[in-house]
Amino acid sequence: MWRSSAIRLALTLGLAAAGISGARALDSAAASCDRECLERTVDRFLDALVSHNPSALAWARGAMYTENNVALQIGDGLWATASKKGDRHQALVFADVPQGEVAYFGVIEERGSLDYLALRLKVDAGRIAEAELIANRKSETGPRGDPTKLVHDPAFSRPVPPGERVARARMIDLAYGYFSTLQLNDGKIFTQFAPDCGRLENGMPSAGDPHASNPYSRLHCEEQFKLGNYRWDDRLRDRRFPLVDEERGLVLASGFIDHSGVLDQYVLTDGTVKTSPIRAPHAWHFLEVFKIERGRISRIESVFVFVPYGMPSPWTERTREPAREGPR
């Protein structure tokens, strides 16, 4: 356990000196990791996390770790409370081999309770240089499914045929346009959607689910946005796209949805009058993955947590995007 300040100090100094002596090498002899190597790194990271032993890993000099958008010492936070890895069949793992990036969407047990977990790692010459983690716990408010029943859409794991793959920059533009569509949503569409596009948020279907009790969750993505249902999403800021898996057609995004709480009633494009569910300022911080097929967004999965309104990101210099924007 990492409860002693002396141990934490020693650990921090050791990590800053480019890794603890005796740590297992993560293919450090190679200058880069292939897909299998990156996926093994995720498994090793999770093994170290649940055994409360970050020194089992090889860390790059100056490695950075964040948990729910807060920069922490490696060994703090979930490192002390995680108790068991989630079932491997509940895991979605994908990678950006040229950039040395790998991501994991799944669950993790924390003292007998299951959390939704989204994780991004950057591997440099076999060592972990960045670890970005979001843990959605049972205490979180907002949409949340049953973690024991988490199932990822099989489309996320299917390789895209070489002739149908979309260039990296275009894939990022499609994801960026999704956030521009969501920001102050008024019915205008700034990206391309597949007709059957569906979305999962913290394990709960929120678009394209024919069995949903909420009628808006039965609609597919573009149908929802054409109605202007999410007018209360004021800003989609600090957008980052650190990982693109061209082989599987996946883009990983990170950012914030700011809610000012100012909007009260608003009118959908079909004339329906609605009351905003957002009654006070706050933000959602997310890791979100998009499946791109034939140049269109077909599947979306997100893990997010509530954070203070306007909270900056440790990963980027804080920038304020315009309150209203079109496609990039």
Which burial class, exposed, middle or buried, applies to 156 when counting CB atoms under 10 A from its CB (0-12, 13-18, 19+)? buried
pLDDT in tens, 2-60: 433 333 434 443 444 434 333 444 434 334 789 999 999 999 999 999 999 999 999 99
SS3 154: helix
pLDDT in tens, 264-313: 999 999 999 999 999 999 999 999 999 999 999 999 999 999 999 999 99
Higher pLDDT, 53 or 326: 53
Tokens in use for 112?
């007998």
**CA distances to 7, 46, 71, 73 from 10, in Å:** 5, 22, 18, 11
pLDDT at 325 over 70: no
Give the pLDDT band (50/70/90) at residue 206.
very high
CB 190 within 8 A of CB 181: yes
Higher pLDDT, 30 or 243: 243
Give the pLDDT band (50/70/90) at residue 105.
very high
Average pLDDT over residues 173-177: 98
Give the pLDDT band (50/70/90) at residue 1.
very low
**Closest Cα to residue 233, out of 266, 197, 194?**
266
What does the CA dihedral 1, 304, 111, 25 come to, rounded to 10 degrees? -40
Domains of the chain: 5-136 (3.10.450.50), 148-307 (3.10.450.50)
What gap in Å lies between CA 317 and CA 305, rounded to an integer? Answer: 21
Q: How many CA atoms lie within 13 A of 117 on its CB side?
A: 31
